[in-house]
Amino acid sequence: MKIVVLDGYTENPGDLSWDELGKLGELTVYDRTSLTDEDEAIARIGDAEVVFTNKTPITKKVIDACPNMKMISMLATGYNVVDYVYAKEKGIPVTNVPTYGTASVSQFSIALLLEICHHIGHHDASVHAGNWANCVDWCYWDYPLIELEGKTIGIIGFGRIGQAEGRIAKALGMNVVAYDLYPNDSGRAIAEYVDLDTLYARADVISLHCNLTPENTGMINKDSIAKMKDGVILINNARGQLIHEQDVADALNSGKMGAAGLDVVYTEPIRADNPLLKAKNCIITPHISWAPKESRQRIMDTAVENVKAYLAGAPINVVNR
């Protein structure tokens, strides 16, 4: 059996091993495959039976051109790059890797918040530039510093990741309110469930952990921002399309929004003309919440288990049943 990995570099830039996957078939790993040239993907898949992708699209054309393909597996949780509906019509299971990033993503969202509160990176650079050695006072700070205890965080999307963030926030002494379409008892043990308008009105910090749907695309926009507290902090390491970027940039520049910490943007890699790049008090990181080695190892382990289950005739983590 032939196995092809179309874009393995972000999953494994060299600090993990493909060996366990290689034990299951004749394995070929490409670091990158074009996101726009379907013919390149077709040529690389060839007569492979199992195909792994992260961001390389597997379209109807690719599926039709590779009739030996029997399984498509994501090296991620999201699977929108695959025409999974058409794959189902062709009898091809599409599998993903759920829940691998709960710890790392929730930790990163809090890291973004703490960076906004303390500007540790800036002050470290300032010290290394000689500013402390040349300071007439025994200490200094270039930005207002924020204490989180007693403040309210509103978490939109209160599944595994949102609840993990909520537990960390509570440990910091924050009050936690949450909005979710499906409230549950585990969530109630951490947060007070409220409607969106109440969350917007009460939260000092708003953190997004919801799935992207047609209904919530652009949900953070000028209308919802108007319902928020002046100086609210926004954290988004879920999906970039959840926010209207120009509206958020305008709110940051006007001071209505105090700061934003973002690990995702609407178009990735970020475009040079993205208005958030020039917005005030906006921290942007390159979609790395998921990327600690421990988290990526879980992706690798689940990818192997997905293939083993397929070979056993009982596929798991199938998103297009």
Kindly state whether residues 64 and 109 are assigned to the same domain.
Answer: no
pLDDT, the chain, mean: 98
pTM of the model: 0.94
Examine the domain organization and report whether 169 and 231 are in the same domain: yes
The answer as to whether 68 is a domain residue is yes
pLDDT band at 235 (very low <50, low <70, confident <90, very high): very high
Are 108 and 170 found together in one domain? Answer: yes
Looking at the structure, tell me whether residues 53 and 89 fall in a common domain. yes
Is 279 contained in some domain? yes
pLDDT reported for residue 253: 98
Pair (136, 241) in one structural domain = yes
Which tens digits make up the pLDDT trace of 74-116?
Answer: 999 999 999 999 999 999 999 999 999 999 999 999 999 999 9
Residue-wise pLDDT for 247-258, tens only, equals 999 999 999 999
Question: What is the pLDDT, as a whole number, of residue 159?
Answer: 97
Average pLDDT (45-68) is 98
Q: How far is CA 154 from CA 182, 283, 309, in A?
A: 16, 19, 39
Number of domains in the chain: 2
Specify the pLDDT at position 42: 98
Is the domain of 257 the same as that of 111?
yes
| Residues 107 and 25 grouped into a single domain | no
Quick check: is 317 in a domain?
no
Residues 50, 161 within the same domain: no
Is 319 a member of any domain?
no
Other Cβ atoms less than 10 A from the Cβ of 43: the count is 12
* pLDDT tens digit sequence for 289-302: 999 999 999 999 99
pLDDT in tens, 218-231: 999 999 999 999 99
pLDDT band for 12, please (50, 70, 90 cuts).
Answer: very high
Share of the chain above pLDDT 70, in %: 100
Residue 31 backbone dihedrals phi, psi, to 5 degrees:
-65, -45
Residue 321 lies in a domain: no
Q: What is the pLDDT of residues 122-161, one digit of tens each?
A: 999 999 999 999 999 999 999 999 999 999 999 999 999 9
**Pairing between β-strand 232-236 and β-strand 205-208 as defined by DSSP bridges:** parallel
CATH number assigned to the domain comprising residue 249: 3.40.50.720
Residue 316 domain-assigned (yes or no): no
230 belongs to a structural domain:
yes
> Does the N-terminal peptide bond of residue 315 adopt cis geometry, omega within 30 degrees of 0?
no
Instruction: Annotate 140-170 with b (16+ C-beta within 10 A) or e (fewer).
Output: eeeeeebebeebbbbbbbbbbbbbbbbebbe
Domain of residue 204 covers 102-284
Is the same domain home to 73 and 220? Answer: no
List active site positions: 239, 268, 287
**Average pLDDT in the 265-280 region?**
97
Structure tokens at 253: 């520049």
Residue 245 falls inside a structural domain: yes
Determine the pLDDT at residue 61: 98
**Domain co-membership, 21 together with 93:** yes
Q: Are residues 96 and 13 in the same domain?
A: yes
C-alpha span between 33 and 160 (Å, rounded)? 32
Q: Are residues 86 and 234 in the same domain?
A: no
